[in-house]
Structure 1
Amino acid sequence: MTLAARLPTSERMGTGHLHINLGAIVENWRALDRLSAGETAAVVKADGYGMGSARVARALAAAGVRRFFVAVAEEGASLRATLGPDVEINVFSGHMAGDTRRLSDLGLIPMLNSPEQIARHTAELPDHPFGLQLDTGMNRLGLETYDWSTDLAAGATLILSHLACADDPDHPANAAQLAAFLDMTAGIPIPRSLAATGGTLLGPDYHFDLTRPGVGLYGGAPFADAQPVATLDLPIIQTRRLRAGESVGYGCTFTAEKDTVIATVSGGYADGLIRAMSGRGTLYAGDTPCPIAGRVSMDLISVDVTDLDAIPDHLTILGPHQTVDQLADACGTIGYEILTGLGARYARTYS
């Protein structure tokens, strides 16, 4: 137990405040749509990359999006309840055992990934729309070359594949996958899609009939021109002074080298602020950076605010001075992980 003298604390709600700019998401979609040679869909899986799929999808539909992609049929069901019957909803995981009634009743289009899925779909929903996903080198989902025949494309609404290295424009895998996709789909009069956000930025050779941006809609790399979408403020619960030599948090991994002011903020790995931020992440008080001191715990983060002239009621971890990718880079991960992990405890507002 520290002998620190405690500083005054402020009164504020105990949860963080996550503000999501729907207008920025729409503008990011419009910007990517302007780059696209054909139609531009929207990927809203993982609860709209953590931003709230219902609110995000309604905003995008109002802006003109008519094709959406989700990871699994359960997400498709929620999206159909939100958007109604007038949009197309595609399911990347295809036709899984147990999906049949949901696909049929809700008009969801599975992207079939394997001979087994094709057989299941043909047997259980012979007249229901479907797409096909091809594996062009990522070795994750999709029909491989030895399973593929152009005869399988008969009746498909879309043929797609996914680039493994599109965030690195110079990676040779991009050209190799493009060549494989062209070879596998040659002569097939079915709409094709290869590009997500990164592929869209690679240029029109990768666009085909449909692009399907995901992370770029939400302000993430590799879309450098994206408008930021998320602002996250964490309230300060308590502040205290540490004497030189005193430690903070689990494992005593931060020890003050001098008299230090520590602010404890509400938020932690239960809220998607991962342990990898421990001793590496930064929060902001206005323009002033405030480093994380010690380990991120489940509900709390200790922050060094010694350099502040006055203690604010909150610190900002996502905002004008730190994008989601800058925060991710600081702790050795990617913006996708930060975005999709943002938890349910935050008080959310939208504009």
Structure 2
Amino acid sequence: MASNLPAPEGTEIQEPPTAGAWGEWNPTEDSVRPVRGKHRVAKQRGGLARSSTVLGVGVIAAVGASGIATAQDRPQVAISLPSLPDLVGADKSRQEDGGSGSADSADGRIGIIAQQSVQGADAGEVLRNRILQQAESQQVAAEAKTRTEAQAEAERAAQQAAVQEAKEKLEAARKAAEEAKAQAEAKAGEEAAAKAAKDAEAKAAQERLAKPAGSYFLPTSAYTLTSHYGDSGSMWSSGHHTGLDFAAPTGTPVKAVSGGKITSAGWSGAYGYRIVLELPDGTEIWYCHLSSMSVTSGAVGAGETIGRVGATGNVTGPHLHLEVRKGGSTTDPLAWLGSKGLNV
């Protein structure tokens, strides 16, 4: 900036260019001539440095005002900012050389530049806060989205687990129903088989009973009569024989002399194993000293095998002891068999 001192007459001084053209104006010895006498042109001390300082502060303010985002897109440049005391000292030097007008003007420029710097800094802080708020809101939105997705995933997993559990329960119920059906069918089959067997047995009994009442058979075969009815001796507790003995090998079949029903079968003391056959007229036929019993209850037909010859009870050898009883009293078996047309 030019000095406020008047130039001497006859001295031609060129006006300096504007602040924006400081880089192109170079004062020479011809442009600035020395002044003789009391008046002299102020030396351009520190003018270029001061202008550079002002330019640097303006650049800082412009960068701050244009926003941090624009500054971040460019490479960082180190700028040195002189302290206010240096600027004030330089202006005081100029004031001593050229007057108070220059100091006042410099102070005004420094205040404007400082104010612009503060405004730029405030604008940058506002932009920074705005960016931070935007980043925070984006982070909050991202966290909310993550929570929503996690909750949705948990709900989907729960639904899948519920569907899988329902499928497993349905499959278990189906298997249980199939097992119950199979058990019911098996039970029904068993019941049907048992009923069929029972029906067959009943039918066989009816067929045996349906045989003619006049059909009679000898109680055994390949036998020898050894003791008759009424024989006396100490071998019998009553003192005499109450039946007819058919001596035969052990295991010889014993047959029903006629159709009837078995009323008793089992061990009977001195008689050994005994079967009692009751005929339709009430006559009882006793089969004693048996080695085994083939039929122990129910109806039997004439000539059906009901047991086998043995030597159980009070005996001296294997034989069939046959008794015929009517009304609880014994009768001669040989006579009774003969009355039925049998040749003993």
TM over 0.5, shorter chain: no
Pair member with larger Rg: 2
Structure with the bigger RCO (C-alpha within 8 Å, sep 6+) is 1
Higher normalized strand content (fraction of residues): 1
TM-score, reference length from structure 1: 0.20
Greater fraction helix: 2
